[in-house]
Structure 1
Amino acid sequence: MMSRVLQLGAALCLALAMAAAWGHPSPHSEILLEGRAGGIGSSGVTSADVRAEITLPLDELALAFGEPLVETPSNHVLIGDERIAAYLAAHIRPVAPDGRAWTVRIVNVRWLLHQRPADVRAIVTLRPPAGAPLDRFTLQVDAIAHHVQSHMTVVALRTDEDAPARIIGTLRFGQRSLAVRGADPRWWIGSLDLFKLGMAHIAEGFDHLLFLLTLLLPAALLVKDGRWQGYGGPRHLAINLLKVVTAFTVGHSLTLLLGAIGAVRVPEQPVEVAIAASILVSAAHAWRPAFPRREAWVAAGFGLVHGLAFGASLRDLDLSGVRLAAGILAFNLGIETMQALIVAVAAPLLVLLARSPSSAHARRVAALCAGAMAVVWVAQRV
C-alpha cells in the first residue's frame, strides 16, 4: 500500500511540474473594432475604413512566431516592427460577404514591455473592396491560436468613440473566423462569450484551482490535539465545503467587481506572487492544521487577492455602463459554474481519501507537491 501511495504521489508531482508553466490561463488576445453607428468607421481613419486595435500577449506571440522576440531581462527587441507588421497582415483576413478580401494595413506596432505580462499592440486599418458593405464581413484571425491550443482571442466592437464596447465573439483553437454584423443595441449580446471566458479562466487557471483544492484537501477530516484525524462524516464535509467555497466566492466576487470597474488597480506582479503564496499557506494547513475551523476566513481573504486577477481580465475588455454590469455578472457566473463543477467532482474523492488507510501519507504527498509548486511560482513571479 505504501508503494502505491508513493507512486501516486510521484505521478501527482509530475503532473504539477508539467502544469507549472501555466499558472494562469494563457493570456488572451484582444481585438477592438471601432466605428460610428452609421456604418463602421472611426476617428483617425476615413469613413470607408474600420480601425482595429489588436493586443497580443508577447510570450504566446513568440511561440506562434517561432523565434524569440525580446531578449530577457534587458527587454531588448530582437526583430524589427516591419516583421511583426508583415506577420500580422498575413494572419488577419477580413472577407466581404461575396468572398472578396479586404485590404489590411498595419499603421503602427507598440511593444508594451514594462508590464506583466508583456504585450504587442498594433493599430490596423481594414478597408473593404469597392461596393462591399462596411458593417458586414467575416473576420479571420489566426495570429496565435493556430499554434497555441489554449489561446483565446476576444473580439469587441465599439460603434462610436464615446459608446461602450461590446463583446461580439471569441476565437479559440480551430476557430479562425467570426461574423461581424455591425452595431447591435441589445445589452446582453456577448454575455455568453464572457460566461465561457469566466469558465475558461478557472478551468485553465491552475494556480486558482490548486489553492482551492489544496485548502479543501483536509475538509473531510476532524482535528484533535493539533493534528488531522479520521473522517468526520458527510455532514462535516458538506458544511466545510459550503463554508470554504462560499467564502472564496464572496471574496473574489468583491474584488472582481471593484477591479472590473476600475475602483481598485493593483500591479499584476504582486497579485500573482500573493496567489502563489496562498497555495503555500493552504499546503502547510493541509500538512498540519494551521488554522483549524477558520478555513472560511482564509478562503475569503485570499479570495480578495484572486479576484484582483479576475477583475484585471475583465477590465481590459473596456466595457462600460449596462454592458459592463452584464459582463461582470456573466463572467462571474462562469467562474462559479466551473468552480462548482470541480468541487462536485472533488467531493467524493475527498471522502475516499479520508477513509483510506493511507490517508495521511497521500494527503502529505499532495500537500508537499502543492507547496513545492507554490515555491516555484513565487520564484518565477518575483
Structure 2
Amino acid sequence: MSRRLLLLVLAALCGAVPVPGRAVAHPMPHSIVTLDPRGATVAASLQVPVEDLALASGVGPADLEGLRRYLHDHLHPRALDGTPWTVAIGAVTVTGDEQADTGPYRELRADAVLTPPPGAGTGRFTLGYDAVVHQVVTHTVFVASRSGDALGVIAVDPRTMAVPDLTVTLDRHRSSFPAMLGLGARHIVEGTDHLLFLLVLLIPAAFRARSGRTAFRRIGAVTLAFTAGHSIALAVSALTRLELPARPVEAAIAVTILVGAGHAARPLFPDREPLIAGLFGLVHGLAFAFTLAELHLSAGSLIVSLLGFNLGIELVQLLLVALALPALLVAARSRHRRAVRLAGAALAAVAATGWLADRLGFPNPVARAADTAGAHPAFLVGALVLTAAVPLIAGRRGRLSAATTRR
C-alpha cells in the first residue's frame, strides 16, 4: 500500500476521535416497541424520540397527560377476528438518552398493558400502532419481544401511504428474516451517506475506463468490495456485540465521502477504488450494526436477523447501482465528462462537509438538506440520469447546429 493510500485510510479513521455535540446519521430516529406476554395480558414498552413525537402530535414534552392520550389514540391491538383489545397507558417519562445511530436526543418512554377480550388469548394478534408514523413518513417502528426476537417493522406503505397493522406472534418462535430483510432494505434506502459514498467511488471507476466493458468490470469490483467490507464489519460487530460510540463512526463516514469526492475530482488512488471501497466499507458496516444492537436480540434471532438485514441492504444496493449504471456509462463517454465528474465530486464534497460539521456538533442546513434526500431515494439516481442526459442533449444540439451550418 502506497504512503498516500495509507494516509487517506488514516484520515478516515481519524474521524473516529470522540467529540462533543450532536450527530445525525440518518434523517429520522426510530421508535421501539417491546412486547412481553404476562399471563392474560401483554406488557408493552414504548420508546419514542421526542422531537418527532412533538412534530407529529403537536403536544409538547412537558404535557405528559397530553402525550399519554396521544399514545392511547394511536395504539390499537386487535384479536385476529378484529375485536379490539383494551389499552391502558401507564407511566410516561421524558428522558435524555443516546440512540446509537443518532447521538444525543430526548426520548419518551411509556408502559402500557394490552388486554385481549375473553377467550382471545395473547399468543397471536394484530398490532395497530401509528404514533409519529402517521405524520412523519420516514419514521420507523421496530417491534421486538422481551425475549429478544425481532417481530417486525411498522412503517408507511409507500404504495398506499397507509400504515398497515403488524401481525404479532408471541406463543412460538417466529423467523425474523422477512422483517429484517425489509428493515435492511429501508435502512440503505434512507442511508443517503452510504449511497453517496458508493456512487462517488463509481464515478472515477467508470470515467477512467477505456471501454464500456472495463467500466462495467470496475464498477462491479467497487460494489463487491464495498459489500464485502460493510458485511464483515456488520457481522463481526453484531455477533460479538461490539460496543462503539456512534458519533465518531458517523463522523468517519463523512470523512470517507470527502476522500471519495477528492478522488473523483482528481485521482488520489488510481485503479485502487475497490481497495478503498473495501476498507472504508468497514466503517460503514459499523454504522449498520448500530440498528441491530439497539434491538437487543437473542443469540438465535440475531443470526437470522443479521442474514436478513444484510441481504436487504445488498439487494437494494445492487438495484440502485444497476439503475445508475447506464447514466454513468453514458456520462463517461460524453465530451462533457470532465464537467460532469467535477460537478458530482463537488456535490458529494458539499454534502460530506455539511455532515461532518453536523456530526462534530455544528448543525447546518446543508446536512439537513442532504439527510432529507434519504426520504427520496430516487433523487440520487435521478441526478445521475440527468447528468447523463445533459451531455446527450448538448451533443445532439451541437450536431444539429453543425449540420445546419454546412447547409
What is the TM-score when the length of structure 1 is the normalising length?
Answer: 0.80
Distance 1:320 1:232 in 2: 50
| Cα distance, 1:117 vs structure 2 | 5.2
Q: Which amino acid aligns with 1:205?
A: G
Other-structure match for 1:44: none
Which whole-Å deviations, capped at 9, do the CAs of 1:342-379 have from their partners, x for residues lacking one?
11112221111111111101111111111011111111
Which whole-Å deviations, capped at 9, do the CAs of 1:90-109 have from their partners, x for residues lacking one?
21122234544322222323
2:150 to 166, 187, 196: 166
| Cα distance, 1:24 vs structure 2 | 1.9
| Cα distance, 1:178 vs structure 2 | 2.0
Other-structure match for 1:65: 57
1:32 to 27, 31, 34: 34
Aligned: 1:333 with 2:315:
no
Other-structure match for 2:388: none
Which whole-Å deviations, capped at 9, do the CAs of 1:225-271 have from their partners, x for residues lacking one?
xxxxxx51123212322221122112111221133235321111111
Question: CA contact under 8 A between 1:57 and 1:117: conserved in structure 2?
Answer: no
Other-structure match for 1:5: none
| Cα distance, 1:336 vs structure 2 | 0.7
Distance 2:80 2:207 in 1: 62
Any gaps of 5 or more consecutive residues in structure 2? 1-22, 361-407
Aligned: 1:244 with 2:228:
no
Other-structure match for 2:188: 202
The 3-state SS of whatever aligns with 1:361 is: helix
Q: How many residues align?
A: 329
Other-structure match for 2:383: none
The 3-state SS of whatever aligns with 1:282 is: helix
Distance 1:117 1:96 in 2: 38
In structure 2, relative to structure 1, the CA distance for the partners of 1:25 and 1:252 (3 Å cut) is farther
1:55 to 34, 42, 47: 47
In structure 2, relative to structure 1, the CA distance for the partners of 1:184 and 1:261 (3 Å cut) is same
Q: CA RMSD in A?
A: 2.2
Distance 2:122 2:298 in 1: 25
Question: CA contact under 8 A between 1:32 and 1:155: conserved in structure 2?
Answer: yes
Aligned: 1:150 with 2:138:
yes
Q: 1:366-381 maps to which residues of 2 (within 5 A)?
A: 366-381=344-359
| Cα distance, 1:169 vs structure 2 | 4.8
Any gaps of 5 or more consecutive residues in structure 1? 1-20, 36-40, 42-46, 70-77, 223-230
Q: 1:303-322 maps to which residues of 2 (within 5 A)?
A: 303-322=281-300
Distance 1:232 1:246 in 2: 21
The 3-state SS of whatever aligns with 1:378 is: helix
Q: Which amino acid aligns with 1:133?
A: G
Q: Which amino acid aligns with 1:258?
A: V
Question: CA contact under 8 A between 1:171 and 1:178: conserved in structure 2?
Answer: no
Question: CA contact under 8 A between 1:64 and 1:147: conserved in structure 2?
Answer: yes
Other-structure match for 2:328: 350
The 3-state SS of whatever aligns with 1:167 is: strand
Q: Which amino acid aligns with 1:377?
A: W
In structure 2, relative to structure 1, the CA distance for the partners of 1:322 and 1:136 (3 Å cut) is closer
Question: CA contact under 8 A between 2:151 and 2:168: conserved in structure 1?
Answer: no
Other-structure match for 2:202: 216
In structure 2, relative to structure 1, the CA distance for the partners of 1:150 and 1:168 (3 Å cut) is closer
Other-structure match for 2:173: 185
Q: Mean Cα displacement is larger for which, 94-103 or 315-324?
A: 94-103
Distance 1:192 1:98 in 2: 24
Q: Mean Cα displacement is larger for which, 289-298 or 210-219?
A: 289-298
Aligned: 1:111 with 2:94:
yes
In structure 2, relative to structure 1, the CA distance for the partners of 1:342 and 1:111 (3 Å cut) is same
Q: Which amino acid aligns with 2:127?
A: L
Distance 1:181 1:200 in 2: 23
Aligned: 1:80 with 2:63:
yes
Identical counterparts, % of pairs? 42
In structure 2, relative to structure 1, the CA distance for the partners of 1:117 and 1:142 (3 Å cut) is farther
Distance 2:24 2:299 in 1: 33
In structure 2, relative to structure 1, the CA distance for the partners of 1:150 and 1:315 (3 Å cut) is same
Question: CA contact under 8 A between 2:229 and 2:279: conserved in structure 1?
Answer: yes
| Cα distance, 1:171 vs structure 2 | 3.6
The structure carrying a bigger helix percent of its residues is 2
Question: CA contact under 8 A between 1:152 and 1:171: conserved in structure 2?
Answer: yes
Aligned: 1:128 with 2:116:
yes
Other-structure match for 1:91: 74
